[in-house]
Amino acid sequence: MKPTLEAVAVGAGFADGAGGRISALEEVDACFWPGQLSVIVGASGSGKSTLLQVLAGIVAPERGRVICGTLDVGALDGTRRDAWRLANCGIVFQDFRLIGELDALANTLLPAHFMHLRAPAALHRRAQSLLADLGLAGRLGPVARLSRGEQQRVALARALLLDPPMLLADEATASLDAENGQRVADALRAAANAGKTVIAVTHDDKLSTLADQRLTLKAGRVVEPRRFRS
């Protein structure tokens, strides 16, 4: 089976406050397959979130390639990477990136407004169904009033709204109690079972036990790639 997404000798870094450079990724090679849940683990500062951002086309690699089919995503300019990401990726950010003044349904529907002036009725129904599946049916009022765990689940519903082929999640269970953490972990596993390519940065052992592949990062390098299912 051909991977959906592939990182080939990817390197990336950032400027520091003193005019120097901080290396975040060094020669990362990784493959991600449809129908599989891959987790990226490692200590804080090991490059996990940077790798996820490079895979999602948010950050362009300084070296190497990110391949989706025949397309080198990393070689695209920012506008075309944005368009590719909208068509291919649902993303759950570690800081949620919700609009606090809007309610859960309006936040879930936000991706629809990149393609439609008004969200179609079918997407309204899908958004309501996703929120219900995540235990958020009928939540009213601004999401700023919700708990962090509830906000995290709204972010997951938003990522799933357009039924993207890839789902990328940065610490999607980190803000949740055990019951809701398991609910979100099961939702990520279900997305993979439905054929999506699911990639999750996590410190959550429960989520790791559901994975088909685990990549361990240390100082920006993959030091322990393990596939549990082919």
Q: What is the pLDDT of residues 170-208, one digit of tens each?
A: 999 887 888 888 888 999 999 999 999 999 999 998 899
Which is more confidently placed, 76 or 17? 76
DSSP letters, 157-199, are: HHHHTT--SEEEEESTTTT--HHHHHHHHHHHHHHHHTT-EEE
Is residue 150 within 8 A of residue 107, CB to CB? The reply is no
pLDDT at residue 230 greater than cutoff 70: no
pLDDT of residue 117: 64
Rounded to whole angstroms, the Cα distance separating 29 from 206 reads 25
Is residue 92 within 8 A of residue 169, CB to CB? The reply is yes
CA-atom Rg of the chain in angstroms: 17
Is residue 92 within 8 A of residue 168, CB to CB? The reply is yes
- The percentage of residues in the chain with a pLDDT greater than 90, rounded to a whole number, is 75
Domains of the chain: 5-96+165-227 (3.40.50.300)
What residue type is 23 in one-letter code? S
